[in-house]
Amino acid sequence: MDVAKDKVTTSESPAEKYSDTEVGETTLINNAGFHRSFSPRQIHVISLGGQIGAGLFITTGSILRDGGPGSLFLGFVVVCSCVWAVLQTVSEMTIAFPTSGNFIDYADRFVDPALSFAAGFSMWIGWTAIIASEATFFSVVVNYWAENRVNEAIWLTIFLLLMFVIFSLPNTVFGWFEYVNSILKIVTLILFVIVGLAMVFGAGPDGTVHHGEAWQDGSAFLNGFKGFGNGVLLAILSIGDNTFTGFLAGESKSPRYSVAHAVILIPIRVTVFYLISVVLIGILVSPTNQNLFGSSGVAASPFVIAIDQAGISVLPDILNAVIITAVAAIAAESFFVASRILQSMAQQGLIHSYIAKVDSRGRPRVSLAITGILAIVLTYINLSAGGTTVFNWLAQVASTGYFMGSDTPTAYYFFQYMFGLVLIFGTAIGYKLIFRTKVRDLRSVDLQTGRRPLTNREIQELDGYDKMPRWRKIYSFVQLW
């Protein structure tokens, strides 16, 4: 198939291909055929609660154990500053060109189709691998109650069925699922911060006043720079890929307002929620606590350990339930992004155009089906011993470059941990050699096609917002419902 020729000979004019279409009074369809069904309020809340999951609740225990409370805190400070910088740049492009493919589209538009193909293919595999990893983690967290009385394959199947049900329904169902989960995670974190502050001063049946013992006697920074470096890399995995909101913008009713709002909210989330949480963890839990070394799943969560130390009952079970819903929400986000990446690649002509099809309800059925098949394979492959090795290699794509390193540097470990980068460079070079694409000349980059100017509706909304009293503006900014 000559995808390059397929891309050039489309019969649509640029205006027809990229402009929004209004159907009836409320349904707006974007250039790819997706319905703009996500409200600014939904994107507002999802931006605050999205990507809060097992990474924060459990992976922080590994950082504390290997690097100490100082490395835990500084690692998250470094990553939070990077999140702010990345969002500032991505948001400018997203507001001007709110496409469902997001940076996959921008890589083609501003740089080279070969880079777009390489980034799209690797990120599609990466996001799909996250679905499989979350399915596996779901079975681990559920066993906090089930205690391994049920075969793991059953939990994996239940989890995958939940994903397929969500995406067999209209996109609004996915939006509300993420919305409710985000509120639940936000409330849980706020509850932990309140309880954590109380525990610092000795609250709880078995509580004691904490004086920062974990920061004394050289325990603040364990294993030197290696402990700090590993802390930074695990913090990246904990915070996750915050470009998810950019993909949502392609199906947002008001992308200009939604993205601008989210760019402020996401740094607030990762800075305030995460940093306060890790500071409390560093005060309440010692890096030498045996539960950090000998337990798995939610039992190794520093959040649960801190609550158990204070003798507070019920809260660990509530936290476990929240982690289960958080895992499901992150898997659903990954399913959404992976399918949109694949559909965008097809729409750009990088792969077969059939995959770009969107049904009357705005669902990319073909790309969803292909993504679902890969997710099933990667999920069940974990049940075999050899399959775990294969999955670990593919999972590296999900965290391209975020490798942990090895105490025994060998070619095997190098390629395992650098597999994501090898895949990107390999596919980019291969695509370029086959289709002879050219790097975009900065003077000829298309800055008009697909640009979304302010609509009359948005101008009216902005005028209405400007006339609000200050307290109403603040209320509308923080409102979650």
> Residue-wise pLDDT tens for the chain (481 aa)?
444 433 433 333 333 334 455 444 344 454 555 666 677 777 878 877 777 877 788 888 889 999 999 999 999 999 888 888 888 888 888 888 887 777 788 888 899 999 999 989 988 988 898 898 888 888 888 888 888 899 989 999 999 999 999 998 888 889 899 999 999 988 888 898 999 999 999 999 999 999 988 888 888 999 888 889 888 877 877 776 666 777 777 677 777 777 887 788 778 777 888 899 999 999 999 999 988 876 666 777 898 899 989 998 888 888 888 889 988 998 999 999 899 899 989 988 899 999 988 887 778 889 999 999 999 998 998 787 655 566 566 556 655 544 446 555 667 666 666 777 788 889 999 999 999 888 888 888 888 877 888 778 878 888 888 899 999 888 887 776 6
Q: Smallest Cα–Cα separation from 182: which of 194, 192, 190? A: 190
DSSP state of 407: S
Residue type (1 letter), 174 = F
Instruction: Please give the Cα distance from 206 to 415 (Å, whole number).
Output: 48
**Per-residue model confidence (pLDDT) at position 242:** 67
Under 8 Å between Cβ of 341 and 127: yes
**Per-residue model confidence (pLDDT) at position 388:** 57
Q: Count other C-beta atoms under 10 Å from residue 429's C-beta.
A: 12
Structure tokens at 294: 């000998």
**Per-residue model confidence (pLDDT) at position 230:** 81
Under 8 Å between Cβ of 455 and 257: no
**Per-residue model confidence (pLDDT) at position 391:** 56
* Contacts for 4 with CB less than 8 Å, ≥ 6 apart: 113, 349, 435, 437
Instruction: Please give the Cα distance from 40 to 57 (Å, whole number).
Output: 28
Q: Smallest Cα–Cα separation from 234: which of 347, 377, 67? A: 67
Instruction: Please give the Cα distance from 314 to 310 (Å, whole number).
Output: 12
**Per-residue model confidence (pLDDT) at position 258:** 78
Instruction: Please give the Cα distance from 112 to 122 (Å, whole number).
Output: 16
Residue indicated by tokens 């291969």: 430
Instruction: Please give the Cα distance from 28 to 21 (Å, whole number).
Output: 6
**Per-residue model confidence (pLDDT) at position 407:** 56
**Per-residue model confidence (pLDDT) at position 165:** 94
Q: Give the CA distances from residue 121 to residues 70, 218, 307, 344, 431, in Å, rounded to whole numbers and listed in that order.
A: 37, 45, 43, 11, 11
Instruction: Please give the Cα distance from 163 to 208 (Å, whole number).
Output: 43
**Per-residue model confidence (pLDDT) at position 355:** 93
* Three-class DSSP category at 225: helix
Residue type (1 letter), 100 = S
Q: Which fold has domain 56-441+453-477?
A: Amino acid/polyamine transporter I (1.20.1740)
Domain spans, the chain:
56-441+453-477
